[in-house]
Every structure is written in structure tokens, then in C-alpha cells.
Structure 1
């Protein structure tokens, strides 16, 4: 990707992009499953189930045990799963290397950053606060706030506007096909995917404008060092 020198805003995905949250998701999911007398899933198995929000994770976790619940029971179990996760979303979760530094560089360069995630927004905000990323994010939008989930572009378009940018001058950074589809549908000019996230399909096969192996790689791609000086 050529340096994106007209970038006016960067919007990040959360899970698999800025933070590895699988540990706490695994704990919460297994607590919900235990209430159904179902055995726990190992963390690496849950890693392959993540994507699309907590409801989909629960559905996949149940399906791995060949369990399908009626709608009412599924909603009740989901509510308990969410409660378990909301009670402690940051005990085992950790930021990926370079997350804080990259957001700091962007802020110093005058590039506002936002977050567009399918995670429940209160949980996302709590996780960002506990990891000291909250004050680095100018706009945070999660699920359960009136917007449809990604890949519907409404949430992303909303975040871009809140950051004072337009789709033509904004960049999306994510870790899977859903993030790519969301950005394309929103009309964003550039999409960057990280190679270390939760994508089942190799991100190099998805058609992003750039694939990076480390968040630090985003800085030279945007030609920010010179602009931040």
C-alpha cells in the first residue's frame, strides 16, 4: 500500500486487532456452559469460535457440544454469559504489542482514532479503560446501541463521522473478513488487516489493501513519522 498521506482518521476493531481477549471470553463461556452441565472448552478451541459477537460465540460453543437451545432458553443463557463476561473482561485479556504506542503516535500526528466492535459497548468501554486505551479513542461504538452488527456498515460510518472524517479519508484496521466487508460497504478508501488475529481464513487471501504482522507496521504505511515531528 502506498503511504496514505490524506488519512484523517483510523478506526480499529477490538478483539483480535488491538487486544487478545480469548482468555476472558473462554472463562465466561465455560461458566455459562457449566450452568448447563456441559464440559468446558479449551482456550484454543474458543479462539477458533470468536467473531461476530457474544451471541455467535455462545451458539458455536453450544454447537461444539451438539447442543441447540430453544430461543427463549438460548436468550437466557446468553444473558448469563454476558453477565459473566461483563463482571471481569480484563483479567486475562492483554493488548497486542504496539497497541498503545501506535495509538499514541496517531494522536500526536493529529489523527483521531475510533473503535467499531461487535462486542457489547459497555464491556468494550470497560476493557479499554482497564487497559488505558479509553482516553486514546475518540469514538467508541459497540453492539446493543441501536446499530446493526458488522458487516453492516452503519456503525463504522457513524464512528467515522464522529471523528470528523469521511469514508474517503478514513482507514479501517481489523483482523478478519467481517472487518473488510464492513469497511468496503462503508466506502472506506483503505483497509488494513492484521495477520495475528482470529480470522479462520488467512488474511492474505481476503483482498485487503495491506496486511501487517505488527501494529507498529501501520505507522510507516501511513507515513506518520515525518508528520508527527
Structure 2
């Protein structure tokens, strides 16, 4: 097996818990529309497929009209990007794991369906940006996960082939995108999965980000 050279990560539900800020932005939008607020659990069930889908799900769940969806998405982004990192924080073990991966010489990337501007704001606010050689947002390309194009774009920027990389996410679209790109797929169990974790199709489930390290250390070792 080719020695591991790169690791790609989803953002929301994998590296950071952003649900509270997304809930606050959604509820601010819903209030403007005269609709009820959504709970934190409801918000978590809406995360993962991009901003437009989150807004659509929130509007539908609260009995609103989706005919103005593009305008509502634009307004949501105005609200959210002004406070994208107020309550968002890295999950336990994330910083130490990223530090260790860099010490091992891996090149790292973010591939998320979150817009690029909000992604980089969060990474900067949490002191995570320095770990990543590439950031692919949901608006960086025409395609988003579960399409493999964002994964392939990240690999190109990292200078690594699919057989020398792995992907860590929390949802079905992460696993689907990784597998379609020919990349090993792992999933954390603490994120915002829309399906039971056993049904995601991941090579392995991680209860904590630190569980990735022994896998990576073994994969980084050249074959005898």
C-alpha cells in the first residue's frame, strides 16, 4: 500500500461544533419571516449539505414559503457570516491531532460544503488555519460533496494521489465523495450524521479525533 501523504477533513461536525452559530443565524432569519424558532437538535439535522439546503430545511420545518429561497439564503449568509465563530469551537482532541499529523509530515486540507468565506473565518478565529495547505469551500467549485470533484481538487492542491490520502467526515456525503474519488473514508460518531453511523459505509468509525492517530502512523510507515 502506498504510504500516506495527505489527510482531508470535513469541517462542521468533524473538526468544529458550529451548530449553535448556525442555529442562531437560522432563528434570526426565521424571526424576520415571522416563523417559529428551530431547536439545536433540529438545526443539527439540517447541517451538512450546504447553506441553501439548511435554509430550505429550516423554512420547510417551520411552515414557511420556499419560493424566495435564493433571497433567504443570501440573507442567511449576511446574518451568519457576521457571527460565524461566536460560539463555534473545535471538538476535543482536534488541535492536538492536527499538530501531530503535521509533525508526521502530512499535508492537510479542508473540504466542506460551507461557503469558503465562513470557513476561513472560523479557521482563523479558532487558530486552525495554519494547519491546512488547502481549503475547498462549498462555493469553491460548481460541485459539492457528495460529488468527488472537491476531494480531487484538494488532492491536486496537496500534490497527493487518492491512494496516498484519507478523508475524515461525519456524514454520508463525506464518505460518498471520498469513495468516489478513490480515497479511504473514515467517519466520526460525534457529528451531525443524517444516517446511523453503521450505514455510512466508512472504513472505520472514530469516537474521538485522537483515534485517527494510530491509523495514520501505521499508514505513514513505508512497506517493508
Smaller-chain TM-score bracket: over 0.9
Give the length in aligned residue pairs.
221
Establish whether residue 218 from structure 1 lines up as the match of residue 218 from structure 2: no
Name the SS of the counterpart of 1:11 in structure 2: strand
Match of 1:123 among 118, 124, 127: 118
Contact 2:166 2:186 in 1 (8 A): yes
Match of 1:85 among 76, 80, 87: 80
Q: CA deviation at 1:224?
A: 5.9
Establish whether residue 11 from structure 1 lines up as the match of residue 8 from structure 2: yes
* Aligned counterparts of 1:105 and 1:177: Cα–Cα separation in 2: 27
* Aligned counterparts of 1:154 and 1:205: Cα–Cα separation in 2: 23
Structure 2: segments with no counterpart, 5+ residues: none
Contact 2:107 2:158 in 1 (8 A): yes
Match of 2:193 in 1: 199
Establish whether residue 152 from structure 1 lines up as the match of residue 153 from structure 2: no
Match of 2:70 in 1: 75
Q: CA deviation at 1:45?
A: 1.5
Provide TM-score, normalisation by structure 2: 0.94
* Aligned counterparts of 2:219 and 2:144: Cα–Cα separation in 1: 34
Q: CA deviation at 1:205?
A: 2.2
CA displacement, residues 161-198 of structure 1 (integer Å, 9 cap, x when unaligned)? 1111001111000001100100011111x111001110
Match of 2:163 in 1: 168
Provide TM-score, normalisation by structure 1: 0.92
Q: CA RMSD in A?
A: 1.6
CA displacement, residues 101-134 of structure 1 (integer Å, 9 cap, x when unaligned)? 1110000000011000000001100100101000
Q: CA deviation at 1:67?
A: 2.2
Structure 1: segments with no counterpart, 5+ residues: none
